[in-house]
Structures are given as structure tokens and as C-alpha cells.
Structure 1
Amino acid sequence: MLGQTTTHSPISAGAAGASSSRSYAWLVFALSFGLLLSDYMSRQVLNAVFPLLKVEWSLSDTELGALGGIVALMVGLLTFPLSILADRWGRVRSLILMAALWSLATLGCALANNFGQMFMARLCVGIGEAAYGSVGIAVVLSVFPRHLRASLSSAFIAGGAFGSVLGMAAGGALSAHFGWRWAFAGMAIFGLVLVGFYRLFITEPRLQAQRRALGEEPDSAARRESVSLRPLLSALFSARSILCAYVGSALQLLVMGALLTWMPSFLARYYGMATDRAGVTAAAFVLAGGVGMVLCGALTDWAARHAPGRKWLMAVAYSVTCCALLLTAFHLPAGTAQLVLIGAGMLFVGGTAGPASAAVANLTHPAIHATAFATLTLANNLLGLAPGPFVTGLIADRIGLLGALQLIPLAGVLAALCFLVGRRTYMADLLRLENQREADPNKANKA
């Protein structure tokens, strides 16, 4: 009726606010996930154009391997300091700057005229990507309820495999139709468009408001406790089993990094595939690696649900199985049987990631889990993903790419030995950690 005042029910208003809050959280996830895709597309597109660069610039396999490994090296070296800077300077501002840098550096790859210019552009790609994984997932998890964080973490991390697949497949297609420069330019344009959307929709005040809506206090650098260095280093490196987890995980990822980088070249050289077909086929192998990583993690949790120590044996089994399959595959003549065995090996090549991560989590106090996983990431990059492409190229220059790929899987044997050694002291190290918590819980919390 005329003259009446319309009022809104507090319940309906609250429901509308909750719906808006959920929508914004998923917007944050979507844009952050999109930038993660851009991250790995920009990183892996190089692999699809290796054959074209090798011919045009007369590059050695060592030089090609250096172009692939420099990104992982920068990620390994700079993850810690850039993550700390992002926490202090502002995560959203840092993410925008990171994504803009790797996108512009990828555009620089498209404009490069020689190996030196390409190497510097790839180095800048690595600097831009260095802390995106750790900072990006922190932003995503900050806007969702706690009960969703485990599944969101898995989904976010899986974006790396999907981005690698898209980068290699799209890069191969673009280079085949428009030339290798447009493969890099396409990745750069995609990243810059996402940067624009991220800058438009994601802001620190809205993230803080989202945290308040979840009933959690907004982040504050002033509230963060300082951690003394000596107890932290002791917690991260004093147990033999955690050192074995770091090194074993990295050695197995050396095999994965080598295959991710060199599969398009292998398919082009030994199967005569054009760059577009080689890129798509290699992307299928990468996808198998991502799916296998998820399946192996689930299988490990099921097998070790009543006996945590079995996770180490599962890691050993994955490493040995992967090594056996890949060694057999690369000693076969080119053909369907070889490709099938390579695909089977790829299902296990990243299988140790789950057991290694679980071991690191169990062997460190929850208060330092973020630092512990950053340490694992550091080991994975510096000892695995960075040297894998370079070492493979170095060997390939001497005995051919096929010969190099026949040797690289042997790193899985060393990984298996590390996991076996770690298993011997795992239970004792767990008991020591529990005793330390019971003896001095305050000290444990500060560590």
C-alpha cells in the first residue's frame, strides 16, 4: 500500500551477503587459477618450439636445456625472499607485478634474436614466476572456509599440470601455423589480459572484508611473530628422514623435469612429428603425469591409513616402477609399444610428491609447515627441475637425445635409495618430535 515502508528481513539480507561472499571467493579462485595456468603456459611453451629454435639459431642441446632450466633455477632461488616481500608489501599488488613481469618477459622471448637475448628473457620469466605458487595459494585459501582448504589446495596445485599441457599444445599449434614467435606472443597476451582482470576485480580491502565475513581476523604483518633462525633450521634439517624426503623427492622430479622439457624434441627427432603434433602428443604425456600424481597420492593414503610408515615404501615402489618402465621404453625401437610404456612411466614419474609431502608435514610442527613446504619446493627446483633439462641436454650433445633419455631415469634408483634410508629412521624421528612437543610446547610453537 501507498505510504508503507518496505523492510528487508535480516535473514534474507544475511543470505544475500553470504551468496555475494561465496561468489567473490570463487572469482578470486578463478582469476588466481587462470594466472597459474598462464604461469605454466609461459614456462612450458618453450619446449614445444625447441626443434624450431635448434634449427634457426643452430643451438646445441646444452643451450636448449639451459633455456628450459633457468626458469626453475630462478624459482628455486627466489621463492623464499619474494614470498617474504609479498607478505610485507601486499599480496595482491605482488601477484599483479609478478604476472605482469612474466608476461612481458614472455613477450620478450617472442622478440629475441639470439640465444643470449632469449636466455635473459627466460631468466626474467623465472623471476616473475618465482613466488606465484606460494603467494597465489595463500590468497585463495584466505577467502574460503577452513573445511574447503584441502580440496582447494589440490585443485590449485593441479593447475600446474593443466597449464603445462595447454602451453605445450597451444605453443605447438601456434608455432606450426604462425611461427615460433607467435607461440610466445600468444602466451604473453593471455597473461596480460588476466593481469588486467585481476587488477580490476581483486583488491586487498575486498580480501580483508571476505576474511571478516568468514569470521577470521584480517592479515596483519604487525601481528606475525618473528621466528629465531637456529630453532627453525634445526626443525627443518636435523632429522635424517626429512633430509631423505627432500632429496628423494627432488631426484625423482629431475626425471619428470627432463621429460617435460625434452618430449617434444624426442617426438620430432625420432618420430618425425611436426611441431604442432609433437606439442599435442607431449602434452598428453604431461597430462598423464598430472593424473598419475593425483592417483598415486590417493593410493598412498589408502595403503598407509593404518601404517604411516608404508608411505615410504610406496614412494620406493613409484620410483622403481617409473625407472623400470622408462628404461624399457627408451631401449625399444620407435613405435606404439615405446609410446605406451612412456605413458605408463609418466603415470608414476610424479608419484613420490604425495608421500614426500606427507613425510615433511609429519616431521615438522604445524606452526612451520609453510616454511617446511617452501624448503621442499626449494629442493625440488634446485636439485630436480632445474638441473633435469640442462643435464639431459649436456648428455645429449655427447651421445644423442635418445642415449640421454636412456640414462636419466636412473635418477629414480637414487630416489628410491633415499626413501629407503629415510624409512629406517622415520619412526624414531617422529617419536623425537613428539617428545620435544611434550617437553616444551611453547618452544615447539615458536619454532
Structure 2
Amino acid sequence: MATVAPQSPVLADRAPTTRVRRAFPWIVFTLTFALLLSDYMSRQVLSAVFPFLKAEWALTDTQLGALTSVVALTVGLLAVPLSLLGDRWGRSKAIVLMAVIWSLATLGSALSANYGELMLSRLFIGVGEAAYGSVGLAVVLAVFPAYRRASFTGAFMAGGSFGSVVGVALGGSLAVHLGWRWSFAVMALLGLVLVALYRLFITDAKLARHRVVDPADGSQVATPGERAKLRTLFSTPAVICAYVGSGLQLFIAGSLFAWLPSYLGRTYGLPADKAAGVAAIAILLMGVGMIVCGTVTDRLARHLPIRKWTTAIVYTSASLVFLGIGFSLAPGGAQLLLLAIGVFFAAGTSGPAGAMVSNLTHESIRATALGTLTLANNLLGLAAGPLVTGILADRLGLAGAMQIVPLAAAGALVALLIGRKVYPKSLAKVTAQAVTR
């Protein structure tokens, strides 16, 4: 098993006190989570202003979907190389730089004069956000023990839902009262304030002093200066299944993020601000589901790791059944109830998937591993979902398109079932590598 080098005299002199050691991880989580809120507020505020852009610039649903998908596509393409840069250059420095880029690009969205300029601004939002989820999550996981990974992964990734809630609800209200440009401007200013706070309180040196060395559950832990080879990102069938299953499941979440406000507006005849408000409640429910599902997974899988796969399979099955039936029903109370249950489970696999990937990869490249998960989540899910749904909506109507969306969970189920079957051998291989390293 990997050993930990003795602490140098310099670091020993600067070792944090017990009070600081207990408080600092929560400071890290709070500020990193707050920036994740800003990340998704900047990304998802767009869906709240779809009706205004459609009316002002005469855009099609495909064009609107493309504005959402370009961010997720850019995130997917750049997640791995920029996550690797974060692992090598310094994770806290990378976080600050990324947040500055996406905040300034969001400000650029507010100043866009036409569709092309807005598309360019959205692309740079994707550049800034590309590795934030993976690098930010790696920072959080490094300062907490391994047995809490699914909980913290679910909670951290739920920031995407909560940020979307605030972005959609606040953006819709600002657009109605002040114009859609202010929706982007406010998100940009908030992001820049959080960047300043993060730079003030968190550094790579502080993170190194507070890193928790905990090889529980088969995960590999780095000794000082040790770097795992990049091919280990795909060294087991189980980790590949985790990437694919998570990505396909988030096809549903991506479609809901982008199109639920418009669906409610068109199907129930709600004005833009009220449709955004109702959609925000649904997305909030999705975030709560991510936290609850991650916590339940940690409790059930603490002594039996394969249960991470079992819980993920249950969450995926629930979203397939409830959303599939819900979108097939006529508008009304029964439909809303079934959709609410389905939305709760729609992203429930996020916590288990992050824990699976963390357990099956080396700590020295964990941000890169989570970046690979982000790549799958975006290319298969968050980028594909809004665009494919927009294309289907232009042909079948939005209601017809949303009936097809839940079928993505069937593909996720196949990947997760295969992953569960091969997980014991994959985990044994990882553990053996950790012992012999």
C-alpha cells in the first residue's frame, strides 16, 4: 500500500491547528460550491430568456438549443486537457482563472448585439467552465475522507441544479422587469465577487496541508511527487461503464435544464417568469435528489462498495419509469406529480458515479479522471440533450420531444448493469496496483 512521506520540518511548523483543520475543509466546500452555483447560474440563465430571444431575434428551437449545447460541448471537449492542467499547475489557481473567464464571458452575453455574438460569448463561458466541475470536486474530495465521497460528490454536483434554479428564477424575473441583458449582467458580477473571495481564502499550499490521505474502498492515494499514468483513466471496464452510464443519464438532466421552462410555458400557457419559477422548483428538486441519493449510496455502500452500482441502477430505473409515463400524460396534476418524482431521480446517479470514478483512479490525476467523467457527462448528456431535444421539437413539437427524452435512461441502465457485473474484478485490479505501486 502506498505510504505517506514524513512531514517536512517546514510544513510541520506551519501545520494547521485542530480548529483550523476542522474549519478549513468546510470553507473549501462552501466557496467551491458557491462558485459552482455561479457556474450554472451563468450557464442556465439562458433558458429563462429563451422566449425573449426567440421573439427579438426570430430564432428557431434548434438555434436556441444550440446556444445551450455549445457550452456543454465546449466543456466536454476541454474538460480533460484543462483538468490535467489543473492537476499539474495548481488546482486553486486554475479555479480562479476559470471563474474569471466564465464571468467575463457572461458579461459579454449581456452586451451581445446579435445571435452570432451571443453564440461566441456562450462558447467562452464553456471554456471557463470546462474543468471547473472536475477540478473543484477534486479539491473538495481531497480534504474529506473517502467514505463520504458519494455524499460530497452528490452535494457538490447538486450545485448545478441549485445554480440553475437561481439562474432560471432570477434570470426570468430580471428579464421581465429590466430586460434580458440584465439577467446575464447580474450573474457576471456575482461570479467576479466570488472569485475575489476564493483567491483570498484558498491557496494550493493550504490545500496540500489539509489533504486527507485515506485509501479506503480501494482508491489509490498519491505519495508526494507521484504521478499516475494517464492510461489508468481507462484501465478497467468498470470505470468506462461509469463514464458512459453517467453521461447517458445526464442526457435527461440536460434536456430538463434547458427545455423545462419552455415546456411549462407552452403546455400550461404560463408567462415566461412564472414558467421559469415553476421550472426552478423542479430543478431544485433535482438538486435535492442528488444530495439524498448520494447520502443514501454512502450509507448503503460503506461496507459493500458494489452497492454504489445498485443504487445508481435504481435511480436510473425510477427516472425512466416516472418521466416516461409523466411526459406521456395530458397536462394536469397527475402529470406534474409523476414528473416531480422523475426529476428527483433524474440526476441521482451523479454522486455514485463520481465515487466510482474516484475509487478506481489515482489521487494524483483525480481531477483529470473527474474531467473524463465531465467529458462523458457533457458530450453524451448535457450537450447532446438540449440540442437533440431542440431538433426533435422543431419536428414533433416540444411535448412530443420530451416524451422521447427519458429513453436515454435505457442506455444508461445497460452501461450500469455491465459495470456492476465487472466491478469486483476492476476494484481488485485497482487495489493490487495500489499495493504494488
Same fold flag (TM > 0.5): yes
Q: Which residue of 2 aligns with 1:33?
A: 33
Is residue 92–residue 202 contact of structure 1 (8 Å, CA) maintained in 2?
no
Using CA pairs below 8 Å that are at least 6 residues apart, which structure has the higher relative contact order?
2
d(CA) in 1 for partners of 2:141, 2:376: 24
Residues 129-186 of structure 1 show CA distances to partners (whole Å, capped at 9, x for unaligned) of 11223333455566x5759975666544332222111111111111111111111111
1:357 aligns with one of 345, 354, 359: 354
Is residue 133–residue 374 contact of structure 2 (8 Å, CA) maintained in 1?
no
Is residue 46–residue 68 contact of structure 1 (8 Å, CA) maintained in 2?
yes
- In structure 2, do the counterparts of structure 1 residues 349 and 179 end up closer, same or farther at CA, with 3 Å as the change threshold? same
Percent of aligned positions with the same letter in both sequences? 52
Q: Following TM superposition, by how much is the alpha carbon of 1:433 offset from its aligned partner in structure 2, in angstroms? A: 4.4
What amino acid is aligned across from residue 414 of structure 1 in structure 2?
Answer: G
Q: Which residue of 1 aligns with 2:56?
A: 56
**Residue 170 of structure 1 pairs with residue 170 of structure 2:** yes
Q: Following TM superposition, by how much is the alpha carbon of 1:32 offset from its aligned partner in structure 2, in angstroms? A: 3.3
Is residue 176–residue 274 contact of structure 1 (8 Å, CA) maintained in 2?
no
Q: Which residue of 2 aligns with 1:423?
A: 420
Is residue 36–residue 160 contact of structure 2 (8 Å, CA) maintained in 1?
yes
Q: Which residue of 1 aligns with 2:7?
A: none
Q: Which residue of 1 aligns with 2:433?
A: 437
1:334 aligns with one of 303, 311, 331: 331
Secondary structure of 2:331's match? coil
d(CA) in 1 for partners of 2:312, 2:26: 34
**Residue 242 of structure 1 pairs with residue 234 of structure 2:** no
Q: Following TM superposition, by how much is the alpha carbon of 1:30 offset from its aligned partner in structure 2, in angstroms? A: 4.0
1:12-411 correspondence to structure 2 within 5 Å:
28-139=28-139, 150=149, 155-199=155-199, 201-202=200-201, 204=203, 208=205, 212=209, 224-228=225-229, 232-233=230-231, 235-304=232-301, 307-364=304-361, 369-411=366-408
d(CA) in 1 for partners of 2:137, 2:241: 26
Deviates more, 1:339-348 or 1:419-428: 419-428
d(CA) in 1 for partners of 2:209, 2:295: 34
d(CA) in 2 for partners of 1:24, 1:299: 25
Secondary structure of 1:333's match? coil
d(CA) in 1 for partners of 2:429, 2:87: 32
- In structure 2, do the counterparts of structure 1 residues 236 and 287 end up closer, same or farther at CA, with 3 Å as the change threshold? same
So what's the TM-score if we normalise by structure 2? 0.84
Deviates more, 1:406-415 or 1:307-316: 307-316
Is there any run of 5+ residues in structure 2 with no aligned partner, and where? 1-13, 214-223
Is residue 45–residue 167 contact of structure 1 (8 Å, CA) maintained in 2?
yes
Q: Following TM superposition, by how much is the alpha carbon of 1:295 offset from its aligned partner in structure 2, in angstroms? A: 2.0
Q: Following TM superposition, by how much is the alpha carbon of 1:55 offset from its aligned partner in structure 2, in angstroms? A: 1.6
Q: Following TM superposition, by how much is the alpha carbon of 1:400 offset from its aligned partner in structure 2, in angstroms? A: 0.7
d(CA) in 2 for partners of 1:213, 1:418: 36
Q: Which has the larger radius of gyration?
A: 1
Deviates more, 1:16-25 or 1:352-361: 16-25
Residues 239-289 of structure 1 show CA distances to partners (whole Å, capped at 9, x for unaligned) of 333322221111111011111110011111111112211111111111111
d(CA) in 1 for partners of 2:70, 2:307: 36
Q: Following TM superposition, by how much is the alpha carbon of 1:42 offset from its aligned partner in structure 2, in angstroms? A: 0.4
- In structure 2, do the counterparts of structure 1 residues 357 and 88 end up closer, same or farther at CA, with 3 Å as the change threshold? closer
- State the number of aligned residues: 415
Is there any run of 5+ residues in structure 1 with no aligned partner, and where? 1-13, 217-222
Q: Following TM superposition, by how much is the alpha carbon of 1:412 offset from its aligned partner in structure 2, in angstroms? A: 0.8
Deviates more, 1:330-339 or 1:31-40: 31-40
Deviates more, 1:382-391 or 1:347-356: 347-356
So what's the TM-score if we normalise by structure 1? 0.82
